[in-house]
Each structure stands twice: as structure tokens, then as C-alpha cells.
Chains A and B, each alone.
Chain A
Amino acid sequence: MNGLQRLACLIGSAAALVLSASGCDPYTYFNVHITIDPAIDNNGSTTLREVDSCATYVFADGKQIEKGEVLTMLNGTHACKTPDTGKDASGILTYDLGVMDYSSARSSGTIKFLINMQNLQNQSTVQGSGEGPVSPGRGERNPVNVLIKAEPCPNTCDTCQPTCPEDTSSYR
């Protein structure tokens, strides 16, 4: 094999490598479906009538990796806002907040989503969480279901902030 043939072989190999790499998506995508436990209105509280906003927090392997994001719809309005919380476009109470899309560049581990519901006094009242595995390269959406529980936040962590992650274990 002469020099030109060797060079052609190497260039072809490098091109094949680059082309194969370009088809690999390094991100993992999550579709987080957030719903509310219908029992939330039957536990003696006035949660849904007091709710002012919802905040979402993202954790990777137990560590918070995103600051709290207010849950909003595409037009920028709060997804949780009395008196429309959990209602669809026609005003029917479905207890379905919607679906959030999140992307992660991590290569392994688990991503956990924590949703806090806050009242008009900015106090977190109830919360829910869900998690999914990191699986880059597939380009598909990993479905994650988050059910905001009817139980009030535990007294040991009455604000339900992510700084008390241990208290979220009872909501899994």
C-alpha cells in the first residue's frame, strides 16, 4: 500500500468517526407530567383556593442542580394561580397542571424533580416529586410523573424547601 492509499484510508476512517459522532445526542430529555391529588380539596385545607404559584426544583443524585423555577405556561402565566389551578382551557377542574420539558447533559445517574405549591403568603403547602434515569443518546423523552400530594408539608420542614431533602422521602 503506497502513501496515498494510506492517507485516503485514514481520511475515510476519520470522516466515518465524525459522521457517526454527529448522530449521537448527548442530552437526556424528560417530559415531566405534573398532576394534583384530587384529595387535596378534601383534607380540610383550602390549598387549591389559596395557591399562588408552583416552583420546580431539579436534583441530580441528591444534589440540587437548578435554582427554583416558577411553573409557567407558554404564554408566561403561572400554571398555579387561584382560581384556575388544575383547570383546563375550558375551566373544568382536571387536576392536571401540564407537561414540562427538561434536558440534561449528564451521562449517568438519576434526575429528580420536586414541585412545591405555594400559597399567597409564599409558604409552601404541599409538594410532589418524581425521578427518571439519565440515558443520553436516544433523543426520546423520558416520562416522569409527579403527583402533588394532598398531605401538608411535614412539620419538621414546614416550608418544604429543597434544603430539607430528607423530608421529601415520605412523598416518594
Chain B
Amino acid sequence: MTRSSLRIRTVCFGVIATLAFATAVPAWAQEPSSEYVDPTIVKDEAPEGVKNLGAEPGVTKKKWEYDSPPVYKKWWFWAATVVATAAVVVLAVWPLTGHAAPCQQSGPNLIPLNCYGDGR
């Protein structure tokens, strides 16, 4: 296995790990569960959290829309994206930029010889 394939493996691991951590929600951060209501089902009454635009005069294109803006319009989404990208880059580059450990020849009645190789 070459250095480049090790780098590719590290990048893949970093992407997968970052996505896993980004999508996982820790137990302490869970909101109280509420019964899910599919907002696409048309009912006489709009479900909770959804504004019935049809009830407002002058609005005809959409009947319902979400009260909150899409996730990509939130500041924390882009901040998290930057953090995740930086983490992946660091994980991919860091392991290959460090130097190897100092020379350490061991054995009985030791005569230390050459010390060389990658990272030295």
C-alpha cells in the first residue's frame, strides 16, 4: 500500500466519520418528542407548525408553507459546514506530515547502527 492510497483511505474515513457525527443527534440534545404530522396531507385544518396561507386573502400559489426558513439559510448550517470541512482536511493531511519517532535501537549488548527511513 502506497502513501497516496493511505491518503485516500484517510480522506474517505474522514468524510464518513464527519457525516456520521454531523447527522447523529446526542441524547441530551433531543427535543421532547411530539406526534409527527405530515404537512403534505391536505386537511381542513392546517397541522401544528404550519401556516395556512390559503386562509389569508391574496395568496393563491401556495396553500401551506413552513414557518421556519430552510436549513441552508441558517447561520449554524454554514458554520458547521466550515468546521466539518476543516476537520476532514486536518484528518487527511495531519498523519502524513508528522515526523517519525526518534531512533530507538534495543537489544542485549546493543551496538546502534543506521537509523533512517520515511519521516526521517
Contact = CB atoms under 8 A, between A and B. Distances in A.
Contacts of B116: 66, 69, 101-103
Interface string A18-34: 10011011110101111
A69 B114 contact: yes
A94 B111 CA distance: 11
A6 B109 CA distance: 58
Contacts of A139: 101
Contact of A101 (B5, B76, B114): B114
B113 A88 contact: no
Interface of B: 1-3, 5-6, 9, 14, 17-18, 21-22, 24-26, 29-31, 74-76, 79-80, 83-84, 86-87, 90-91, 94-96, 98, 100-101, 103-107, 109-120
Contact of B105 (A26, A27, A88, A98): A98
A14 B30 contact: no
24 contacts: A7-B76, A7-B83, A17-B14, A17-B18, A21-B94, A22-B94, A25-B98, A26-B96, A27-B100, A56-B114, A69-B116, A79-B113, A96-B111, A97-B111, A97-B113, A98-B110, A99-B105, A100-B115, A101-B105, A101-B114, A102-B114, A103-B119, A106-B3, A107-B5
